[in-house]
Amino acid sequence: MKVSVCMMVRNEEAILGRALASTLGLADEVVIVDTGSTDGTVQLAPDFGAIVIEGGDRRHKAQSRNQAADASTGDWTVVLDADEVIRDPQAVRAFLEGTTAQAVYIRETFMDGDRPTLSFGQMRCWRRGTFAYRFRAHEVPLPTAGWGEIAHTELVWEHRPPQVDRSWKREHMLMLLTMDVEENPGEPRPLYYLAREYMYLGAWWACIETTRKYLAVATESDHERAEAFGLLATCYRQLKQHDQAHAWLHQAMAAQPESRAWPGLLAELYHEAGEHDRAAAYLRLALTLPRTGSGYLDERWYGSHIYDLLARCLYYGGHVAEGLPFAEQALALSPNDQRLKDNLEFFRRG
């Protein structure tokens, strides 16, 4: 079995070596398409044995990714970005050697030092030629000749961007997504990601308008639909229209009842409004929901934050003794957090 790791890069000299090092034990070849680097990226890559193809289109990420895949020769195509690290490359290879699946989902996990903050499933491995990317931005692999067997795994790609100013990427992404919407009328995916980009930019009303356009064409089964309700809730929360924010979070709960995020965010709203008992009830509901491997996982709702918030809601609601074990659990999950240490002392003093 031969594995090809395929990458698309631009000005990644500072981090490319780290990404390439994480392919050892997995890759038989690495194929890189460069989309216009002006630093030492192109010169650095061959030092790690990578094949570099210049001239990729930075205004069309799907085309550049497909260019790398088409130039590869492996039985398996594995996609990696320069700001990512494959946590256990040998485990990935072992899985590919043993699976009967046509394609494999991994967990893309955003890291803050050694602490995960957000993760979600992404298809990053498939048998040669069975998938190709579509769209200029937030590109997605789609089957070339029908869906085969798909494997969902807990294999991890750690997202570790460089500590430099990347604000330019917001405007660049906005341009690409606008082009995707224009070129793909009626397609829900570009509309959703354009709406999300407006949210990141703080353009609340543009986000609301674009999200409503997305919902008009999305199907009930669209896996981004609950997140779209969440976008609307975030915008209305920022606009201080809390009734609307509550309503959209309830829609998100109905669409994705297994997620802790939606009752957790409702609890934050009620806590801010001084309705601490109601907030505590939503947090207790959230804690009954097990960790799920599907969709986005905001790690706040599986770590110290949810216990800390519940402890504070109970404290302000006058239930100090009831809140004490949650304050203890929050500190146990984040033992170096001074604020949690101070909070626990408040509980112990009653």
Report pLDDT for 294.
62
Report pLDDT for 185.
95
Domain with CATH 3.90.550.10 in the chain: 3-159
Q: What 3-state class would DSSP assign to 225?
A: helix
Q: Tokens 């009626």 map to which residue? A: 186
Domain with CATH 1.25.40.10 in the chain: 167-239, 257-350
Report pLDDT for 293.
61
The residues near 92 (Cβ < 8 Å, ≥ 6 apart) are 26, 78, 86, 106, 125, 155
Eight-state DSSP code of residue 121: E
Q: What 3-state class would DSSP assign to 109?
A: strand
Q: What are the pLDDT digits (tens) for 2-35?
A: 999 999 999 999 999 999 999 999 999 999 999 9
pTM as predicted: 0.93
Q: What is the architecture, at CATH level 2, of domain 257-350?
A: Alpha Horseshoe (1.25)
Tell me which residue of 183, 153, 165, 164 sits closest to 293, measured CA to CA. 153
Among 3.30.420.40, 1.25.40.10, 3.30.70.860, 1.20.58.340, what is the CATH number of 167-239?
Answer: 1.25.40.10
Report pLDDT for 265.
98
Cβ atoms within 10 Å of 221's Cβ, excluding its own: 6
Report pLDDT for 150.
97
Q: Is there a contact between 312 and 342 (Cβ–Cβ < 8 Å)? A: no
Q: What are the pLDDT digits (tens) for 108-126?
A: 999 999 999 999 999 999 9
What's phi and psi for 336, nearest 5 deg?
-100, 5
Task: State the CATH class of domain 3-159.
Answer: alpha beta
Q: Mean pLDDT per segment of 10 residues, for the chain of length 350 residues? A: 98 96 98 97 93 97 98 98 98 98 97 93 97 98 97 97 78 96 97 98 98 96 94 98 98 95 98 97 97 82 97 96 96 95 87
Report pLDDT for 296.
86
Q: Is there a contact between 27 and 5 (Cβ–Cβ < 8 Å)? A: yes
